[in-house]
Chains A and B, each alone.
Chain A
Amino acid sequence: MLRHLFLIPFCLATLFPALWVVKMAFRAEQAFATDLNPLPVEFSLQNFETLMSDPLFGRQLLNSLLVATLTTLLGVFLACTAAYAFSRFRFPGRRAGLMFLLVTQMFPGTMMTIPLYSLMESLGLLNQMAGLILVYSTTAIPFCIYMLKGYFDTIPRELEESAIMDGAGPFTLFWRIILPLSRPAIAVTALFSFMTAWNEYILAATFMSDERAYTLPVKVQSFVGDYTTEWGHFAAGALIVSVPVMALFFALQKHLVGGLTAGSVKG
């Protein structure tokens, strides 16, 4: 009960700024809400209607889902295998490899658009979802590897040693023992990879030259103009964009329990 007494006010404080977004989304006007009252005073679905009646809305939503899902699959899979090697093997170049991962995060991203464009162009991946997926998953992978490696490190080796005695190879160990035990960390990295791909719009808008290939965040960002922004539409779009993330997290958070149960350690 004490927990709830703390959690409920904190939760309200967290949601408080987001209320203005909700308010703007359900208002029939396009101005930015600056008043003191964050609660919606009118309830109009006009902004949502405009957005969803766009013939390309479904297509763009699908693009976003496809790009984010494939990014998550590719990123998490590659990160799992690499993290496993970093955690369980001692090989020449291991430190350098870990260091390299960290280093990749250090060069500021704002200067990257131009060279990335040239690279995508010469790989023939402009205007292709595969290009976006490739860029997004490599953006997400370093964190995923670090997170998973840290988690793998906490899994006792005794488990694997006993499996090796039973004749299991590295892949069996990885697939049958490490991965099932690491569900919480995989859930976290999956959410992270998904978010990386889901909310990005600058690269998507630069690489894609067909509205049927746009992702939803590009569409939402296009309500921002040089002098004015259609905030009603933007807010409605922002809400639509956030719903799948919350749904995904709701599905994933079940895996944030369990993991290393006492039983498996003893077994």
Chain B
Amino acid sequence: MRPAAKYGFLGPVMAVVIAAAMGVFVLHRYAGERAETVGRERASQAAAWLLTHGPAGVDDLRRPQSIRWAGVAFSETPQGARYPFLRRPVWLAHTDPARQGTPLERALPDDKATADLLVSPEVTRLPNGGWRAGAAETLAQGERRVAVAELAPPPRVEIPWPSLLLALGAALLFWYDLTRRVPENRVRPAVGAGIAATALLALLGPRLNAVHALEVPESRGSADIGGASMLLAGVVLLPLVIAGVAGALRGSRRSDHRVAYAYIGPALIGLGLLVLVPFLYGVGLAFTRAGHGSATFVGLDNFIDILSSEGRAITEPLSFYFTLVVTLVWTAANIALHAGIGLGLALLLKEPTLRFKGVYRVLFIVPWAVPSYITALVWKGMFNQQYGIVNHLLGLFGVTPVAWFSEFWTSFTANVITNTWLGFPFMMVVSLGALQSIPTDLYEAASVDGADKWQQFKHITLPLLKPAMVPALILGSVWTFNMFNIIYLVSGGQPGHSTDILITQAYRWAFEQDRYGYAAAYSVLIFLILLVWSFFTQRWTRAAEGQG
């Protein structure tokens, strides 16, 4: 009676199709990328050769057939020029005897591409599939010497068929085993997965390497964190997934587990890719001194600087510990207010009999719906000392105008009020959803037993709300901890950075002070603090699960 049984074969078929599509995609990119790398490298090598060997090197370069033409030019600044930064290029040597020694000005009009090249010695792909590369050197007198080489299109790059077929076969085997229930066989999937991983790495490795090599055109001893972190992610992620799946399968023969892995697989793989790469990039950056496109490894220096507050007193606003305390108070205050107001409103709005409840609900999410960039600035305007509505309203009660952003507590309060306004709708929506998980007959039973509203809330609503609310509170606390734009837009850290939280500090270090490594170390510390926090919350989650 199970119609789905008929279509059981679709599983492996789909697995094969997906694997094949992925394989073709990877292969396609790999082959193209590989040819590109080789071509670029050889063209650049030829140009570099010319630059070091001077005009005489042109003759040596005629020998390799792939070089179509090459030449050396150098620039000079005319004497007594009005604009000392103007350069005049002069040809010195050329593989084409007809162009030997021609002043460049005359060669220019009919050869715009040559002009492009002389101006900048980048590797360019020609329409015919070849490459043109140059090398340049700035001499002491502000003169520039440029060498150019053009490469014929390379032969086709062979496709690593064996490696690809191996990967496909292994993937097929793996998925076939996973979807058929053959509990006795636990070796094949693991082996298959291992082969697939190796083959994939073999395919991807050089590709990532190639990307790595090309990313920084002028790699003056700088660490390329982007490429390295991606390679690292590939190396870490794949075996992790494989080991996790294989190990888990070995641990148990229950088909339930396989079902579970298949259900969570797509989400976790996607997340792993998109989170792990940036994460490793950030961690890598934290150990460097980075700025202006280059980075040098400095070990733990950034962390030491932060934790020692660079000689600032602990109570100074720019010290790590002061900011940490502010961040914790900020998070606690916001979460309490968000959850309190959100839950209160949800309790008022959950009644099916309430009139206009749909209208209320929609109006209450307005703070969430309108882009916060503008509303945060409206709030800032409302807190203006002289022209803000807040002081105006307080004035009606005889309060003298408050300069909100010149004292720590008032400035902090302004931030919290703004963020509460922005954040409670989300908690209200979550609470509305969570409240629906409580069966209504429990309340009926309770009121029959004579429990009043408060007792019902305390003994039914709160405990039963836990499973659905605790996750939102935990995630909410993490988000609030890293809530950047409200503080940046409303108080801006005033007075004197005291209302900054860790994330706004990190932002300032990175984007206002060019200390990317230092900022990344801040981010790593934020991450570690939240990690400790999450270990605590695990207990509550477990407790909440117990309720369910």
| A residues lining the B interface (CB < 8 Å) | 3-4, 6-7, 10-11, 14-15, 17-18, 20-21, 24, 32-36, 38, 78-79, 81-82, 84-86, 89, 91-95, 97-112, 114-116, 118-119, 122, 124, 134-135, 137-138, 141-143, 145-147, 149-151, 153-155, 167, 169-172, 184-185, 187-188, 191-192, 195, 199, 217, 220-221, 224, 231, 234-235, 238-239, 241-242, 245-246, 249-250, 253-254, 256-262, 265
Contacts and interface: CB of A to CB of B under 8 A. Distances in A.
B436 interface: yes
A147 B433 contact: yes
Given A92-B248, A146-B474, 7 more contacts: A38-B389, A93-B248, A111-B520, A116-B277, A146-B472, A169-B4, A184-B434
A90 to B, nearest CB: 8
Contacts of A145: 267
A218 B1 CA distance: 53
Given A14-B363, A85-B259, A188 B248 contact: no
A175 to B, nearest CB: 10
B262 to A, nearest CB: 8
Interface stretch (B79-87, B164-172, B367-375): B367-375
A238 B472 contact: no
Contacts of B244: 93
Nearest to A186: B433
A17 B439 contact: no
Contacts of B252: 91-92
Interface stretch (B39-47, B314-322, B463-471): B463-471
Contact of A21 (B215, B230, B370, B478): B370
A256 B436 contact: yes
A12 to B, nearest CB: 9
Interface in B241-259: 244, 247-248, 251-252, 256-257, 259
Interface string B1-25: 1101000000000000000000000
A170 B520 CA distance: 44
B346 to A, nearest CB: 9
A150 B379 contact: no
A118 B278 CA distance: 9
Contacts of B208: 122
A260 B484 CA distance: 38
Contacts of B2: 167, 169
Contact of A100 (B268, B371, B475, B506): B268
A102 B547 CA distance: 21
Contact of A17 (B382, B479, B520): B382
A107 B278 contact: yes
B311 interface: no
Given A78-B266, A170-B259, A154 B467 contact: yes
Contact of B266 (A81, A115, A118, A184): A81
B230 to A, nearest CB: 7
Contacts of B367: 14, 17-18
A34 B384 contact: yes
Contacts of B354: 3
What 8 A-B pairs have minimum CB-CB distances, sorted nearest first? A153-B548, A146-B471, A115-B281, A85-B263, A259-B436, A89-B260, A184-B436, A188-B433
Nearest to A198: B369
Contact of A122 (B211, B348, B507): B211
Nearest to A145: B267
B378 A154 contact: no
A84 B263 CA distance: 8
Interface in B414-471: 421, 426, 429-430, 432-434, 436-441, 464, 467-471
A84 B348 CA distance: 30
Contacts of B352: 257
Contact of A14 (B364, B503, B541): B364
A154 B421 CA distance: 30
28 contacts: A14-B367, A17-B367, A34-B384, A78-B267, A81-B264, A104-B275, A106-B530, A108-B526, A110-B510, A111-B282, A115-B278, A118-B277, A119-B277, A138-B274, A138-B275, A150-B469, A151-B468, A153-B467, A185-B437, A185-B468, A191-B429, A199-B371, A245-B368, A249-B362, A250-B362, A257-B350, A259-B436, A262-B441
A92 B360 contact: no
Contacts of A85: 259-261, 263-264
A103 B468 CA distance: 19
A67 B547 CA distance: 38
Nearest to A8: B360
B523 A36 contact: no
Given A102-B478, A221-B373, A246 B259 contact: no
A188 to B, nearest CB: 4
B114 interface: no
Nearest to B431: A188
B378 A11 contact: no
B377 to A, nearest CB: 7
B345 interface: yes
Contacts of B474: 102, 146
Contact of B226 (A94, A114, A221): A114
Contacts of B345: 10
A32 B387 CA distance: 13
A115 B374 contact: no
Contact of B475 (A34, A93, A102, A256): A102
Contacts of B365: 245-246, 249
A108 B361 contact: no
B471 to A, nearest CB: 4
Interface in B207-230: 208, 211, 215, 226-227, 229-230
B65 to A, nearest CB: 33
A83 to B, nearest CB: 9
Contacts of B470: 150
Nearest to B273: A119
B548 A147 contact: no
B378 A108 contact: no
B432 A256 contact: yes
Contacts of A231: 374
B381 interface: yes
A142 B271 contact: yes
A109 B278 CA distance: 9
Contacts of A155: 437
A143 B477 CA distance: 12
A109 B482 contact: yes
A193 B478 CA distance: 18
A125 to B, nearest CB: 11
